[in-house]
Amino acid sequence: MKLNVDRKSDVNSIFGVCFQSNIYPALFLLQVGKYHVPTEAKDMAEKAVKYIERALEADGENFACHKWSGIIINWSSEFIGTRRKIERSFDVQEHFQVSPHMF
């Protein structure tokens, strides 16, 4: 699905509650890197992970932070080796297990 990032309504419908959090920059990088600029996706994934780590530090009790953290960590794992990908899978699992309990 391609979004028009110039139309706030398109982005808002996807990210909803995330506009109220610090995770918007990470989600923007995820959306643009994955769907619009795949040649720069690795750099965008690394930046998105840094943003989501900051969001978790700032608002670790927000279910959306954990949900999107799992998604972004999983996406960024596409660009690393198998061993590191397996290590990160436990982080993804942890975020997905915590997220529903905070909702």
User: Residues 6 or more apart from 5 whose CB is under 8 A from it?
Assistant: 11, 28, 31, 32, 36
- Name the DSSP class of 21: S
Residue ranges of E strands in 2-101: none
- Residue 23 in domain: yes
Instruction: Please state, in angstroms and rounded to a whole number, the distance separating the CA atoms of residues 2 and 37.
Output: 11
- Residue 1 in domain: no
- Residue 16 in domain: yes
- Residue 2 in domain: no
Mean pLDDT for the stretch of residues 29-50: 78
Q: What's the whole-model pTM score?
A: 0.70
- Residue 31 in domain: yes
Supply the range of the domain harboring residue 26.
8-102
Q: What is the pLDDT of residues 83-92, one digit of tens each?
A: 999 999 999 9
- Residue 35 in domain: yes
What total number of domains does the chain contain? 1
Q: What percent of the chain has a predicted confidence (pLDDT) above 70?
A: 71
